Amino acid sequence: MSEKSPLVEAQQAFSEVVPFRHTGVESSTLGEATGRTLADDLPAPMDMPPYSRAIVEGFLVHTEDTEGASEEKPITFQVVASVQPGDTVCPAFDHGQALRIATGSLVPEGKFSAVRPWDCETQDEQFSINRPFAPRFFLEDRGCDFKEGDNLLAAGSVLGPAELGTIASVGITEVNVARRPVVTVFSSGDEVVPHTEELTPGAIYDCNSVMLSAAVTQSGGEARFAGIMGDDFEGFVSAARKALQDSDMILISGGTAVGGRDFIADLVKALGELLIDGVPMRSGRPLIMGLAESKPIVCVAGHPPEALRGFYLFGQIALDRLLGRVAEIPADTQSPQ
């Protein structure tokens, strides 16, 4: 068995200490639930489908009436009535007779079969078949998708179009979802200036706050940008402590080494517990993780591509844990160094 890479070991170690399902629960209408995380298992309030139905158009026959049909001995049926989608009752019919049906038509339980138009020869209100049909051929039984009380979706499921469609199909209008974790985002560096200001020589625009805030939002969190912090250690500690009061997570880009000092590592120590101080890998090495007041602190490199990559490698793990999502450790294709 191959050994785990230092990256995977760091990811797993970090994942183990971030609180699971930590942000609390709130109710959401389906229209506002896209991308949200289901907070509780969701049992089905009804069978689906709620009644037995045809899944093709054609004719409904008694299955035993088709036995013995062949090219040499075709069997003829008389169409005596029809049942359309939306009808609440399926008419009774005798052997040798048939009902005209459409996709979605209610059908009875028992030994009946659907005969599709291309499986028979039709003439006026009669049709003939030249082969037998299996019981329930192209008929869908009540509850074949799921039964009342079955678990429709598990807690931790991310609600996308398919999931929301399933929920709506059983008449549920609101669901309990995990509250979005509030993530306070800091950029750092004396040379970093807001992207909305004029650029001066020696300065660089802050794109990380915009980029990382978007990544947080896309990953299910609520990003709050708290500003660009200069290389002022005590000022940064004070701002981070304030952010912890109304945040579920802190995300910092840049500032991993200032003037020979392990600036961000010392910052994390001042706030709480330093868990990971760098990950031996080819690039993006200055990844620092901590925990303060049971809240994860994720610190990524200042170089934008590595900052975003660092978020996906560690910030995503933290958000998944806080939201209660059961997610695998994200794979990274870069070999350790």
Query: ∠ CA(179), CA(319), CA(21), 5° rounding?
Result: 55
Residue 336 lies in a domain: no
pLDDT at 20: 93
Q: Do 272 and 301 sit in the same domain of this protein?
A: yes
For residue 49, whether the previous peptide bond is cis, meaning omega lies within 30 degrees of 0, is yes
Find out whether 252 and 297 touch, Cβ atoms under 8 Å. yes
* Paired strand residues for 249: 183
Domain of residue 154, residue span:
25-48+148-178
- Please report, for the domain that includes residue 254, its CATH number: 3.40.980.10
User: What is the DSSP secondary structure assignment for residue 158, as one 8-state letter?
Assistant: B
Burial of 297 (0-12, 13-18, 19+ CB in 10 A): buried
Q: DSSP H helical segments within the chain, as ranges?
A: 6-17, 161-168, 208-218, 233-244, 263-271, 304-310, 316-323
Q: Do 319 and 280 sit in the same domain of this protein?
A: yes
Q: Do 190 and 294 sit in the same domain of this protein?
A: yes
- Please report, for the domain that includes residue 41, its CATH number: 3.90.105.10
**φ and ψ at residue 317, rounded to 5 degrees:** -60, -45
Residue 152 lies in a domain: yes
Q: DSSP H helical segments within 88-185, as ranges?
A: 161-168
Q: Do 32 and 173 sit in the same domain of this protein?
A: yes
Q: Do 135 and 239 sit in the same domain of this protein?
A: no
Pairwise CA distance, residues 2 & 243, whole Å = 41
pLDDT at 326: 81
Residue 329 lies in a domain: no
pLDDT at 60: 98
Q: Do 170 and 31 sit in the same domain of this protein?
A: yes
Question: How many domains, the chain?
Answer: 3
Residue 330 lies in a domain: no
pLDDT averaged per 10 residues in sequence order, the chain, 337 residues? 78 94 93 96 96 97 97 97 96 97 97 97 96 97 96 96 97 97 93 85 90 97 94 92 97 70 86 92 77 96 92 96 85 45
Residue 334 lies in a domain: no
- Please report, for the domain that includes residue 83, its CATH number: 2.170.190.11
Pairwise CA distance, residues 90 & 67, whole Å = 23
**What contacts 24+ positions apart, CB below 8 Å, involve 283-288?**
283/334, 284/309, 284/310, 284/313, 284/334, 286/256, 286/257, 287/10, 287/313, 287/314, 288/256, 288/264
Residue 129 lies in a domain: yes
Q: Do 158 and 277 sit in the same domain of this protein?
A: no
pLDDT at 192: 86
Q: Do 195 and 205 sit in the same domain of this protein?
A: yes
Q: Do 226 and 95 sit in the same domain of this protein?
A: no
Q: Do 130 and 263 sit in the same domain of this protein?
A: no
Residue 332 lies in a domain: no
Pairwise CA distance, residues 248 & 253, whole Å = 17
Q: Do 43 and 61 sit in the same domain of this protein?
A: no
Q: Do 189 and 257 sit in the same domain of this protein?
A: yes
Residue 335 lies in a domain: no
